[in-house]
């Protein structure tokens, strides 16, 4: 009888004993707490950091087996991340939320969205230098897309063991764009360049053009980079629903209910990949460091490209808008507007920057799609 009671009580303290023996779980519980703090108190991407932080805590409570076979988080992970379904559903929502009008009004700003992807490929080179495998380097480089769902899509497919580090890096640095970009913008431009006033002539875009845009981009992008069609197609499906105006219920569901539910599950799953054994490795720190470098390089290359456009246009372009050619929409465009107005009260860069930013959104998906198709062409992926 006494032995049975002691055994029963032993079951109640087994978790504490296991925790005391596993320092990595203790550290990960603290990291989960920090992510929750950043989301709740500092308002850094709370929609993601709160479920990620909580998922991290859940998976690091010893003996809970939430990520074991048939565990609660494993079931969600297998259903949505392993199948790549969650990032694609999020993309439908993003497409439904995004107005590509500014980039359609000024198609040349699309090129700034390409320049903002240089960081992906330069970081990939650096990751190879640090000894990561080819597919790990691809997954680390994709942090430079500054686009959470794209990073998750590529990493879950080709380096799932890095999913936690890559996702945390992608979302954390996206939230830190207003902190990371301004010093680089100031360092890369002169006072005169920053004060350049860009004229904006609102060019109306017809509804037909807005409807044809997602269709043409899907077909063209799919032909050039078929491996990335799931990403591009889901983004454009959302946008087609938005612009057609005839399926408002579906559009609203995509940008609200579906996106919200999937964001919750996706965040939990990312947190669930952050078990102490998988996350607390030197390579996680390198991934976080390279992710930071990727976003800095995106900004640097975007500004350099805009400087080139400034020369070609005879000084009409304010190179600050190059910093908006990343996927953090519309945050990067707002940062450009805020910086521009500091140096010239008459400078109104927002619409130009929105064009570059919308270009960056498509650019990041195209960069990932091109990357996957080049990998397939080289026979590295099937």
Partner 1 sequence: MEMDNTTFGLTMLICGMGGTLLTLWIMSLVMTVLGRLFPEKAEPKKEG
Give the integer Cα–Cα distance in Å for 94 and 224. 22
- Does residue number 88 form part of the binding site for partner 1 (CB under 8 A)? no
8 A C-beta contact, residue 227 and residue 372? yes
Site string for partner 1, 96-135 (x = CB under 8 A): -------xx--xx-xx-xxx-xx-xxx-xx--xx----x-
8 A C-beta contact, residue 347 and residue 197? yes
- Does residue number 47 form part of the binding site for partner 1 (CB under 8 A)? no
Burial of 376 (0-12, 13-18, 19+ CB in 10 A): middle
67 Cβ neighbours under 8 A, 6+ residues apart: 59, 73, 74, 77, 272, 273, 275
Output the smallest distance, CB 199 to partner 1, in A: 18
Among 19, 186, 209, 376, binds partner 1 (CB under 8 A): 209
Burial of 271 (0-12, 13-18, 19+ CB in 10 A): buried
Q: Is the peptide bond before 218 cis (omega within 30 degrees of 0)?
A: no
- Does residue number 244 form part of the binding site for partner 1 (CB under 8 A)? no
Q: Is 203 helix (H, G, I), strand (E, B) or coil?
A: coil
- Does residue number 342 form part of the binding site for partner 1 (CB under 8 A)? no
Output the smallest distance, CB 204 to partner 1, in A: 4
- Does residue number 363 form part of the binding site for partner 1 (CB under 8 A)? yes
8 A C-beta contact, residue 167 and residue 148? yes
Give the integer Cα–Cα distance in Å for 52 and 252. 25
- Does residue number 312 form part of the binding site for partner 1 (CB under 8 A)? no
- Does residue number 137 form part of the binding site for partner 1 (CB under 8 A)? yes
The residue (of 203 and 342) whose beta carbon lies closer to partner 1 is 203
Output the smallest distance, CB 336 to partner 1, in A: 19
- Does residue number 329 form part of the binding site for partner 1 (CB under 8 A)? no
Output the smallest distance, CB 382 to partner 1, in A: 16
Output the smallest distance, CB 285 to partner 1, in A: 21
8 A C-beta contact, residue 156 and residue 162? no
Nearest to 112 by CA among 372, 294, 309, 291: 309
The residue (of 164 and 325) whose beta carbon lies closer to partner 1 is 325
Output the smallest distance, CB 138 to partner 1, in A: 8
- Does residue number 367 form part of the binding site for partner 1 (CB under 8 A)? yes
Name the residues that contact partner 1, by CB under 8 A: 103-104, 107-108, 110-111, 113-115, 117-118, 120-122, 124-125, 128-129, 134, 137-138, 203-206, 208-209, 212-213, 216-217, 220-221, 224-225, 359, 362-363, 366-367, 370-371, 373-375, 377-378, 380
């Amino acid at each position: 009888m006494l032995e049975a009671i002691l055994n029963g009580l032993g079951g109640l303290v087994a978790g504490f004993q296991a925790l005391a023996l596993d320092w990595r779980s203790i550290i990960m519980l603290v990291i989960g707490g920090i992510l929750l703090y950043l989301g709740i108190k500092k308002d850094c991407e709370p929609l993601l950091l709160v479920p990620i932080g909580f998922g991290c805590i859940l998976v690091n409570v010893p003996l809970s087996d939430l990520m074991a076979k048939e565990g609660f988080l494993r079931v969600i992970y297998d259903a949505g991340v392993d199948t790549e379904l969650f990032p694609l559903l999020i993309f439908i929502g993003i497409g439904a939320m995004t107005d590509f009008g500014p980039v359609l009004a000024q198609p040349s700003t699309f090129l700034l969205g390409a320049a903002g992807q240089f960081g992906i490929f330069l970081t990939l080179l650096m990751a190879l230098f640090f000894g990561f495998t080819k597919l790990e380097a691809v997954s680390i480089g994709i942090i430079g897309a500054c686009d959470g769902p794209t990073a998750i899509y590529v990493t879950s497919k080709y380096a799932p063991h890095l999913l936690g580090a890559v996702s945390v890096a992608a979302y954390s640095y996206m939230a830190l764009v207003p902190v990371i970009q301004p010093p680089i913008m100031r360092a890369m431009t002169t006072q005169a360049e920053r004060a350049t006033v860009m004229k904006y002539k609102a060019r109306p875009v017809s509804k037909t053009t807005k409807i044809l845009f997602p269709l043409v981009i899907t077909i063209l992008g799919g032909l050039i980079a078929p491996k990335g069609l799931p990403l591009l197609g889901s983004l454009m499906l959302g946008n087609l629903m938005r612009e057609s105006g005839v399926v408002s219920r579906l559009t609203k569901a995509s940008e609200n209910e579906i996106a919200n539910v999937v964001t919750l599950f996706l965040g939990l799953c990312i947190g669930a990949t952050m078990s102490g054994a998988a996350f607390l490795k030197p390579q996680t720190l390198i991934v976080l460091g390279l992710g930071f470098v990727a976003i800095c390089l995106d900004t640097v290359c975007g500004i350099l490209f805009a400087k080139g456009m400034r020369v070609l246009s005879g000084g009409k372009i304010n190179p600050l808008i190059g910093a908006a050619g990343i996927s953090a929409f519309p945050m990067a465009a707002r940062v450009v507007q805020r910086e521009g107005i500091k140096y010239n009260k008459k400078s109104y860069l927002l619409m130009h920057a929105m064009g570059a930013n919308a270009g960056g959104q498509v650019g990041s998906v195209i960069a990932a799609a091109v990357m996957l198709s080049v990998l397939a062409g080289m026979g590295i992926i099937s």
